Amino acid sequence: MTTFHPLDVAQVFSPFPFGRNSRDGDNNGERFRQQFLVPRLRADQHLRVMLDNVRRLPSSSWLEEAFGGLIRFDKFSLDFVRSHLQIATQRKDYEEEIWGYIEKAAEDVRKVK
């Protein structure tokens, strides 16, 4: 049985995640991806990313950069991300939005090849 390690965005990163990259401030999606997701995924950890404790839901640019960037920039496969990442939130529309960004990134990468 696979164990998913909890990664509470509000606790380990910021209760106010915002923006795509460093031009948008310190709490941006690129920094979250590079510092909190990529190293753990490269170490083959399975992650449960928890979003319910953030004080303000992240912007679409934050979400796209943090999660879509796993495929676009860090070259993880869609199958790997699906098997290693869970999104934990009571808002199913939010979870669907995140998976939409991941799947769109995978589709864009396939078109380039």
Contacting residues for 42 by C-beta, under 8 A, at least 6 apart: none
Q: Using pLDDT thresholds of 50, 70 and 90, give the confidence band for residue 112.
A: confident
- Structure pTM? 0.96
**What is the tens place of the pLDDT at every residue in 44-55?**
999 999 999 999
The CA angle 62-5-14, to the nearest 5 degrees, is: 35
Residues 6+ apart with CB under 8 A from 44: 84
